[in-house]
Structure 1
């Protein structure tokens, strides 16, 4: 069983190459957890996988399970769920317990549900195979999962292509992403979202967050001085922009190249350069298709 699953995982990676696209691949250890992340592109899905790995370590501690666990989180068009124990008769690099979750998008609570069920039922996994999908899809959270989700886990800083921002950050807690300002005068929560796909700071005190494939949140937050009260305070506001989907839009989110232009403009260019957008921070004007406007 172990050998077959390992082969399946390798085939998933090879198939991405065969179809002209190679997934991003990243490994990270958290205590007894080895997290293997595979995603279509460099998006916040990688950081979400790393957050799941950190929660998995805390969950295994709560369940008093100290044996090694390898968790494969692979972005795939269909949902496929597997878990298996190491075959003591085979010499390979498998962990004592191995978990593979393939899905288009990862749900943190569903992943933790499945990880917990895998740990608790590890000695009878072969008999429980028919329940794997139900374990993952269940909306009933155990006390253990609820407990670990109370812990704040901040945005990881392990991926070079997803650089740390200077004036903003986010943490995950109770199944929500909490976006915060980290400017010197005030560390304050700005908003919460159920999903974050891209998190980019194109210029000082400006943050661009894709929370859906076609929904962009632009935060502006900076310190201002109150001369009457003689102190600094945080001034912030948010603008939501709708990005028109192309007819041939890919099924998964593709990150944009988001850049600063001049003193108060932001440009967004799609991955393959087929779309270009412009937003004026000062005038609050959004040009949805810049090339078409230029051609007029």
Structure 2
């Protein structure tokens, strides 16, 4: 929920977000960085800027909530929700929380207001006002960027705007190779085989041995290039495996969460049906009791009526007969 005052320094650092956190994860495929021009880019940048404007006055839970939504691209507007915010998955989640008597999420409200602006339904805004006493979002972006380590929402300069020359790419390639080579202890033409070279593989090592000079000794330059390439390949493979593992884990979590939500929905329906059945049973018993009471009263009334008629008949028979010609 929104903080009512400026956040003080705490042991927990501020959660940082930038365009680098927009990563597409599909099934078991490696993560893909969302780039300018992708369908998730424009709204993603808007949501990150909205986070920057609110981060310094957000609770830790709301910071984590916005990060979760943005990093998982849950802000994306499906086609059916482009003109109707009630059909957005985040709004559906809020509606489900309302049914379960759970307070709305301030983090989700910030995202939805960023996406739809004044098009949000008044009923939803009223719910937010009831829970948080406001729907205003003041801009605190300048406070966010006074914190060390912050990055802009989007890159200031892209490769498309300023194409890199061949010479620049070659320079970067040389620096990369030099950095990779230093990581495995290549210095002044000498080399040492440590734990990094053990995992490179037999094929890469055989190529290193094949590169020799006329003195039948390893060529340092050839070794440097081969080891740098091997390390780069190893890092690529590890990245792919890590990406697949994370993707599978997230898919499993999503499936379990969906199953838990379905199970919870079924339990709620069963509980509601049981309560309704119990009420109907109690009403039926009450009606039956009232019916029995009325029937008893009717029987008593009929009995009393019969007794009254019998008594009148007896009195009529007991009355003496008047003499003829006498006044009655």
Question: Same fold per TM (> 0.5)?
Answer: no
Larger radius of gyration: 2
TM-score range (shorter-chain normalised) is under 0.3
TM-score scaled to structure 1, two decimals?
Answer: 0.24
TM-score scaled to structure 2, two decimals?
Answer: 0.22
Structure with the higher helix share, 1 or 2: 2
